[in-house]
Amino acid sequence: MLQEVSHSTGHGRPATYEDLLRVPDHLVAEIVDGELYTSPRPAFPHARAGTRLGGRLDPFQQGGGGPGGWWILFEPELHLGSDILVPDLVAWRVERMPEFPDTAFATLAPDWVCEILSPSTARLDRAKKLEIYARERVSCVWLLDPIAQTLEVLTLDGGHWVIQAIHQANDSIRAVPFEAMAIDLAYLWGETASEAISR
């Protein structure tokens, strides 16, 4: 997500799902620690990076012609305790979610989350949302920054986040939990690997 993030404490009370439903459709709304946060839809570089990453991960989906074993979604609504989050990309191992739910939101924490950072959302994504993901035992988080052209890979160890790797620019990576396939980061930024090398 990009641009300005605004939040409200709900007029002196914790924000409710009804508050979230009143947010205009052109904004992404989340409730974090009782506060309502709204932000614009992703800007084009962020949307492109997320779309391209999702495409690269498609072989991990059921029936995707690759390793399989995962359900992968763009911007699902997650109800995790009293928090309501809308991560950019998430994935569940099929062994933990054998049946794909027919609901408007999920209450089962995912196994993997990717947040696409912008200057305005990075603080929320890195601080409060990472705390919630740790509390809910999400095992791996990727922090993707299309402007800085970096990918941070974090894994949960005893309730604390450990940086496994920081990849950048035109690296070709194999990152947990999707290390079975290589991903060229230059493609996520909108370049081919040869274009990135020639810059």
Q: Does residue 143 form part of some domain?
A: yes
Q: For residue 18, what are its two tokens?
A: 């009804």
One-letter amino acid at 178 equals F
The phi, psi pair for 35, rounded to 5°, reads -105, 140
Peptide bond between residue 146 and the one before it cis (omega within 30 degrees of 0): no
Q: For residue 140, what are its two tokens?
A: 């791996």
Q: Does residue 99 form part of some domain?
A: yes
Q: Does residue 9 form part of some domain?
A: no
Contact in structure between 10 and 34 (CB atoms under 8 Å): yes
Distance CA 6, CA 60 (A): 35
Q: Does residue 85 form part of some domain?
A: yes
Q: Does residue 158 form part of some domain?
A: yes
Task: State the pTM of this model.
Answer: 0.90
pLDDT digits over 74-89, tens only?
A: 999 999 999 999 999 9
Q: What's the mean pLDDT when you consider all of the chain?
A: 90
The phi, psi pair for 72, rounded to 5°, reads -125, 130
* pLDDT at res. 195: 54
Q: Does residue 176 form part of some domain?
A: yes
Beta-carbon neighbour count of residue 110 at 10 Å? 28
User: What is the domain range of residue 178?
Assistant: 43-198
The phi, psi pair for 70, rounded to 5°, reads -135, 155
Distance CA 70, CA 89 (A): 13
Q: Does residue 194 form part of some domain?
A: yes
Q: Does residue 103 form part of some domain?
A: yes
CATH number at residue 110: 3.90.1570.10
180/65: higher pLDDT:
180
Please tell me the total count of domains within the chain: 1
